[in-house]
Amino acid sequence: MRLFTCPCDGQLLHFENSRCEACGENLGYLPEANRLTVVRAEGDALAAEGEEGRWRFCANAQHAACNWLVPADGEEALCLCCRHNRTIPDLSIPENLSLWQRAQVAQHRLFYTILRLDLPRPTKLENPETGLAFDVLADEAMPTGQNVMTGHDSGLITLALAEADDAERERRRTAMGEPYRTLLGHYRHEVGHYYWDRLVQDGGQLEACRAVFGDEREDYGAALQRHYANGAPPDWPMHFVSAYASAHPWEDFAETWAHYLHMIDTVEMARAFGLGIAPKADAAGALAAEIDVNPYREASLDPILEAWVPLTVAVNSLNRCMGAPDAYPFVLSRPVIEKLRFIHALVQSGEAHTAG
């Protein structure tokens, strides 16, 4: 993620801003240009500062759930992100609207990365078999006594709306014994399953992936039952990025994929802030880093890792000063780094950009 500036007055803007607090102008995001810009009424459409053509806001702007723009002369009412929504909760319920707005913030941040990586992203309308879609469901839509389960099935990602409630998500995090559980993390994990299908299975990378993550033909249901009954093996930190990743190769891939997206998004933002890390107490310079790497353009994972490790140590230390949990409570062992290298090579490959 990067920072943006208002073209009128240079005011610093953030990705979700829909209005510049300095000049008062309305703002819209142009996803293909990766630009947040001023928009003004021009007849029955909008003019975007510095852009040719006419625009309109995504239809979900009426719910304060999207600030992305679509061409005014196009047939699509929804933006490149929102058109992947298959089911949304009943927005006439005020609590649902508030939680869904939070879910949409996470989903748009996910699609920022998907677009920057130029990954395949067909909708289910464009391709029913390989398309990507989201059902964001509230528990009241389920039969009595049942709760929505977050998961992935053949390109359809189901997200429990309750995960957008901070208190409920923290309750579940504690009950599951997880050090980290976020709404954006759910999106990144579940879309990892989707891209396993598209880039590994359909991309001819099965054997290469098995050599790194293990054989996914292991019985998935039995593996999950064993994990929930017995927990992760004692030495899981030596081989996996999280305890849940040890459950099955599919979960290992999805967890590692999510962590890869965490890394590139955070490193890009650190670069946008011009961060440098040079602790005076670190005489050997092991934690020194000048974060000036564009993670979307690096052919090798090494420069990203060189920025990531010092950055997470610094951020975790700052969190502890505020009495907050570590922002990144994970350790990257050598096997995990090799898995991250595999994913970096996968998303950088030409096949990833031509798959559909």
Asked if 164 and 102 touch (Cβ cutoff 8 Å), the reply is yes
**Residue 156 tokens, joined:** 């359809």
pLDDT of residue 352: 62
Q: Helices 302-321 and 334-348 sit at what angle, rounded to 10 degrees?
A: 120
Collapse the DSSP code of 247 into the 3-class scheme (helix H, G, I; strand E, B; otherwise coil) and give the result: coil
pLDDT tens-digit profile, the chain (356 residues): 999 999 888 899 999 999 999 898 999 999 999 999 999 998 889 998 888 889 999 999 999 999 999 999 999 999 999 999 999 999 999 999 999 999 999 999 999 999 999 999 999 999 999 999 999 999 887 777 788 999 999 999 999 999 999 999 999 999 988 999 999 999 999 999 999 999 999 999 999 999 999 999 999 999 999 999 999 999 999 999 999 999 999 999 999 999 999 999 999 999 999 999 988 887 787 888 889 999 999 999 999 999 999 999 999 999 999 999 999 999 899 999 999 999 999 999 865 665 55
Give residue 289's pLDDT. 86
Q: Whole-prediction pTM value?
A: 0.94
d(C-alpha 90, C-alpha 138), whole Å: 8
Q: What is the pLDDT of residue 285?
A: 79
> Can you tell me the distance from the alpha carbon of 330 to that of 308, in angstroms, rounded to the nearest whole number?
12
Q: Which among 31, 116, 21, 93 has a CA at the least distance from the CA of 67?
A: 31
Residue pair 296/264 in contact by the 8 Å Cβ criterion: yes
